[in-house]
């Protein structure tokens, strides 16, 4: 689409001072992945395994960088067996494949833009390599309707080829999630 946010001061459009999320939506480069069937849940694991993330955003040889802005997870369905753990990784390689694909939606009704990145829950990931960085861990209570929300402040980025992998697990029963991920795809 030929749009870059770095030309905006604090995401300004024209004479308006706005947040990057608003500016990106106005340009048709902000996307959301949330299951289109609200009762469908993603299920985490019973232990941390590098090849079984709960969620993945990945791309290969695209003309955009992916800037993850927000992640919201809500425990639903089966209650996790004990404290819930999470880990977030970024990688300079596309490590994702398979899983249940969710078509990302443009966050402006003025555009019918298709996302470059692929989003899936319960994907299979290749083994971690030299480009893997574990950048955040988190934990959550094991209660239904418990919300885990992380605002990345436009600071979690993968380039033309890369992966964002989110792992969740609890020791006895894997957590079940409804989810929403939001990101910006900016031209490189």
Separation between Cα atoms, residue 9 and residue 105, nearest integer Å: 26
Identify the pLDDT of residue 19.
67
Confirm whether 4 is domain-assigned.
no
User: What is the three-class DSSP state of 88?
Assistant: strand
Name the pTM for this structure: 0.89
**182 has which bridge partners?**
32, 70
**Residue carrying structure tokens 């390689």:** 93
Q: pLDDT tens digit string along 23-82?
A: 888 899 999 999 888 889 999 999 999 999 999 999 999 999 999 999 999 999 888 888
Confirm whether 108 is domain-assigned.
yes
Identify the pLDDT of residue 175.
94
Confirm whether 25 is domain-assigned.
no
Confirm whether 46 is domain-assigned.
yes
Separation between Cα atoms, residue 138 and residue 167, nearest integer Å: 10
Phi and psi at 25, nearest 5°, equal: -65, -40
**Residue carrying structure tokens 């949330």:** 34
pLDDT band at 177 (very low <50, low <70, confident <90, very high): very high
Separation between Cα atoms, residue 139 and residue 155, nearest integer Å: 21
Confirm whether 80 is domain-assigned.
yes
The region that residue 50 occupies, defined by phi over 0 for left and psi between -120 and 50 for alpha, beta otherwise, is alpha
User: What is the three-class DSSP state of 38?
Assistant: coil
Confirm whether 10 is domain-assigned.
no
Separation between Cα atoms, residue 119 and residue 99, nearest integer Å: 9
Identify the pLDDT of residue 11.
47
Confirm whether 3 is domain-assigned.
no
Q: What is the total count of domains within the chain? A: 1
Confirm whether 11 is domain-assigned.
no
């Amino acid at each position: 689409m030929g749009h870059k946010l770095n030309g905006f001061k604090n995401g300004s459009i024209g004479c308006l001072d706005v947040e990057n999320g608003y500016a990106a939506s106005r340009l048709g480069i902000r996307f959301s992945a949330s299951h289109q069937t609200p009762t469908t849940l993603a299920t985490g694991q019973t232990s941390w395994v590098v090849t079984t993330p709960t969620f993945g955003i990945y791309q290969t040889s695209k003309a955009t960088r992916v800037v993850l802005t927000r992640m919201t997870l809500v425990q639903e369905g089966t209650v996790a067996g004990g404290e819930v753990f999470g880990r977030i990784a970024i990688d300079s390689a596309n490590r994702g494949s398979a899983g249940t694909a969710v078509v990302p939606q443009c966050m402006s009704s003025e555009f019918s833009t298709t996302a470059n990145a692929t989003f899936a829950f319960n994907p299979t990931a290749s083994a971690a390599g030299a480009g893997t960085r574990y950048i955040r861990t988190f934990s959550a209570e094991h209660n239904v309707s418990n919300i885990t929300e992380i605002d990345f402040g436009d600071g979690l980025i993968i380039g033309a080829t890369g992966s964002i992998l989110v792992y969740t697990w609890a020791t006895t029963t894997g957590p079940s999630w409804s989810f929403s991920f939001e990101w910006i795809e900016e031209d490189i």
